[in-house]
Structure 1
Amino acid sequence: MARIDYYLSVISPFCYFTGTRVAEIAKQNGADLVFKPVDIMSLFQRTGGTALGDRHPSRQAYRFQELARTSKKTGLPYHAKPMFFPTNPAPASYAIIAAQDAFAKTGEGDLQALVFSLLRACWAEQKDIAEDAVVGDALEAAGFDRGLTFTGMLSGAETYVRNLEEAVEAGVFGAPFWVCDDGEMFWGVDRLNDLDAHLKGDL
């Protein structure tokens, strides 16, 4: 079975615009999708990226245009300036990691639903995904134990750090970023069709 490592940031609008499509692509192509939340600011620092607030005004202005266009193309509503952005991405990231571990053991829960729920909470629902209650609600709605916000904190923190190191080693420099087990890499929501074509053997 092919494997796709999905490096994501829970505060990335373009990860939000990915929706559930990457999970659908993986399923259609018989690929195993592994979620790897990363600290996007640390990733930028390690790979030559620039924090949003430090970018030239022209780059920031273009980003707003691109967000609006991507929202229309995907049909996903969003707030250009969410009430709770930026926020601490660690709690939600830890929860995804803990849920993925729990799923590996029990086969219960919907990981993609959890990831999308947290991203939607930030970008469409004006919620702070650094709050335990918000993360707990997302876990519960996706079929996981809301207590994972606490029981999975230690292992989540360790894996979160390891994900960053793996991302840098793999050549990842942004999010969403997909790395296939054959070494092919795809960056950005606008490369989902290319990922699909590659898995089908057409690209």
Structure 2
Amino acid sequence: MTISDYPEQWPVTATKDHFQGRVFGVRTDTVEMPGDDVADRDYIVHIGSVAVLALDDDDRVLMIRQYRHAAGHQLWELPAGLRDVEGEPLAETAARELAEEAGHQAATWYTLVDLMSSPGMTNERIRVFLARDLSPVEIDFVRTHEETDMPVEWIPLPDAVELALMGKIHNSPAVAGILAAYAASAEGFHTLRPSDAPEA
């Protein structure tokens, strides 16, 4: 058996949208189940996001700290953002977020890992990129709200792995990106997909 996720959509007999905000909505689908049964499934409809594991020449991970109201925490995260520009290639979205949130640009990009953040409750998809060959960049961008004060720290990749495994870092794209980068580093990152790799 080949182990690989694949798309499949069971028939939906009814849909009800309960809420629609700027970033996500809440929906109930009535889904045909095996055995001639139907069941309601509530979920969050999300526009999707990207994250960037930026790794410098000393194999240090660029991390930012951001307040997350829903979680009630200040979280150490990777630069990340929403897929909120229609038609924009995901690598360009990631490059924009890296510049806006962390003041850096990268000359080399790879697809590091693709995530479904919580597939039992949302259709959100997150692509985490690996960015290398970094340099500072200044752009005309004003940070507001939670982004007003986001300190940047450079953490050696093995230390970041240890922090994730010790439960010191909780943000899911950060944990997945750190562990994926550490695993990929064993092969010199040569097994990674290109930055424009299609999503499944």
TM-score > 0.5 by shorter chain: no
| TM, length-normalised to structure 2 | 0.27
| Structure number with larger C-alpha Rg | 2
Structure with higher helix content? 1
